Structure 1
Amino acid sequence: MSRSLRKQSDPDLGMLSAQVLFALQKELFRRLADEGHPNLRPRHGAVLAYLDVEGSRATTLSYLSGQHKQVIGTLVDELVDLGYVERRPDPQDRRAKLIVPTELGLDMMTRSDAIVADIERRHAEAVGAAQYAAFKHVLREVAELQRAGDG
């Protein structure tokens, strides 16, 4: 059996996680566009998925997303230009900056959370709530193991 046929019949962890990620992103960003956020792209998720309502430091976003700080800086610049975030002095450390969502950013965050919850609900209904909860539990453990071994 050829490698490509084997990978089609028994995809590995990377392939399966990529298929889920790309399909989830496609639906999420299509639905966000339909709800008034047409300029966002999946790459912006490295910032927006981890952004706190009260703001987050770029170093925190970098750590949580697994992206280099320079990448986060570029994405923040794009999101500032699009009107989703702004930089403000961090009240805890005036030398640091917080990335803070604007009203547009808060609207997107609320809609995004609702869309992802809807997608998860749909999957839980399809496979059963207990099975979906177990899947997420195992996936979380695998993700933690992978991140821990990535150093």
Structure 2
Amino acid sequence: MVTNHDYSWGVSTRSERKQVDPDLGMLSAQVLFALQKELFRRLGEVGHASLRPRHGAVLAYLDVEGTRAATLSVLSGQHKQVISTLVDELVELGYVERRPDPQDRRAKLVVPTELGLDMMRRSDGIMEDVERGHAEAVGEDAYAVFKRVFREVAKRQRGAD
């Protein structure tokens, strides 16, 4: 059984213990923040310096043909109002535009512009490069197992809502 309440590592404080054996939340946050930092730094180097990690709630889930804001909200786990604000920012920055949904004229699609499409291609390439680097560092088989297990943990955790 996994326990994080065992101080047998020779540490005396909770913060020391968390440094020696970070829990799932801490590890997830460390990976997320470091990954965002690298992704947005590298995007900035190729002409997308105005983007911020918060924009990922829209951009990470955006389809080339467009995506409804309500769908972006569900996929990202963000409130509709947050997504609306982010879409407004991305429209102003020139990355997306709102268009009528051909399936339902009352609904709007968030559609990437040419600038948005360039960012999506570059972002996908950066993420492939990052993942390839991790696979090379730990071994392709180990990385494949890690991703499979991490997907299951994420799925299970999302079900706990």
TM-score band (shorter)? Answer: over 0.9
Where does 1:49-68 land on structure 2 (aligned, <5 Å)? 49-68=60-79
Work out which structure has the larger RCO, using CA pairs closer than 8 Å and 6 or more positions apart in sequence.
1
- What is the percent sequence identity of the aligned residues? 79
Instruction: Select 1:27's aligned residue among 38, 54, 62.
Output: 38
Paired with 2:129 and 2:35, the residues of 1 have a C-alpha distance of 11
Moved >3 Å (runs of 4+): none
Instruction: Say whether 1:7 aligns with 2:32.
Output: no
The structure carrying a bigger helix percent of its residues is: 1
Where does 1:126-141 land on structure 2 (aligned, <5 Å)? 126-141=137-152
Q: TM-score, normalised by structure 1?
A: 0.99
Measure how far apart 1:139 and its partner are.
Answer: 0.6
Query: CA RMSD for the aligned pairs?
Result: 0.4
Q: Given residue 53 of structure 1, which amino acid in structure 2 is its aligned partner?
A: V
Instruction: Select 1:94's aligned residue among 102, 105, 123.
Output: 105
Unaligned stretches of 5+ residues in structure 1: none
Instruction: Say whether 1:85 aligns with 2:99.
Output: no
Paired with 2:152 and 2:87, the residues of 1 have a C-alpha distance of 30
1:43-94 superposed Cα distances (whole Å, 9 cap, x missing partner)? 0000000000000000110000000010000000000000000000000000
Q: Given residue 25 of structure 2, which amino acid in structure 1 is its aligned partner?
A: G
Paired with 1:139 and 1:42, the residues of 2 have a C-alpha distance of 22
Paired with 1:70 and 1:147, the residues of 2 have a C-alpha distance of 21
Instruction: Say whether 1:123 aligns with 2:111.
Output: no
Unaligned stretches of 5+ residues in structure 2: 1-11
Paired with 2:40 and 2:103, the residues of 1 have a C-alpha distance of 34
1:46 corresponds to: 57
Measure how far apart 1:104 and its partner are.
Answer: 0.1
Aligned with 2:127: secondary structure? helix
